[in-house]
Amino acid sequence: MSECRQPYPGPRAARRDEISVRLSMGASRAQVVAQLLTESCLLALFAGTAAIPVAQWTLNLIASMIPAYLTEIIQFSLSMRVLLFGAALALGAGLFFGLFPALHCTRSDLASSLKGQAGRLTGAGLAPRFRTCLLTAQIALSLALLVAAGLLRRAYSISIALILV
């Protein structure tokens, strides 16, 4: 994303300087936050659009792995309802995960940023703690999803075995 939470300082400092210039030229904080949220949402919608062929490919792969008589019973296709839900989910993720960095980027010290110094962000002590919490939550959710996928696969293989017996 093009916010100022990039892992290497080059684009981060340039983005901070750009935001400082916009704020000093008279743009309100709300306008800058709206611009950053728009960028975040567009990126999320592009990712959601790129996920559609992957979802279709995955459905085709699953359909090719199950027995032929089950493909007649179960239809593997993407419906419009699923696509709209995916678009809404992508837009919601863009808003949710773009809001904190956008608010954080617009709280820079204008004078030090415009002088070419590093510019210390206000509330910098809270940001690393929040990022650590987000990372911990992401790892916990990933682990829970992996366990759920393993259990679902096991239940699926047991149900297929029972059907074939």
pLDDT tens for 106-163 read 776 665 655 664 444 555 556 678 888 888 999 999 999 999 999 998 888 888 777 7
| Same domain membership, residue 98 and residue 156 | no
How many beta carbons lie within 10 A of that of residue 102, not counting itself? 24
Whether 63 maps to a domain, the answer reads yes
| Same domain membership, residue 129 and residue 117 | no
| Same domain membership, residue 62 and residue 118 | yes
CA-to-CA distance for 67 and 86, rounded, in angstroms?
28
Whether 3 maps to a domain, the answer reads no
pLDDT for 7 equals 44
Q: Is the pTM of this model over 0.85?
A: no
Whether 20 maps to a domain, the answer reads yes
- CA-based nearest residue to 18, from 108, 151, 99, 93: 108
- Residue span of the structural domain in which 33 resides: 9-122
Query: Which of 104, 122, 140 delimits the end of a domain?
Result: 122
| Same domain membership, residue 137 and residue 116 | no
| Same domain membership, residue 131 and residue 109 | no
| Same domain membership, residue 154 and residue 78 | no
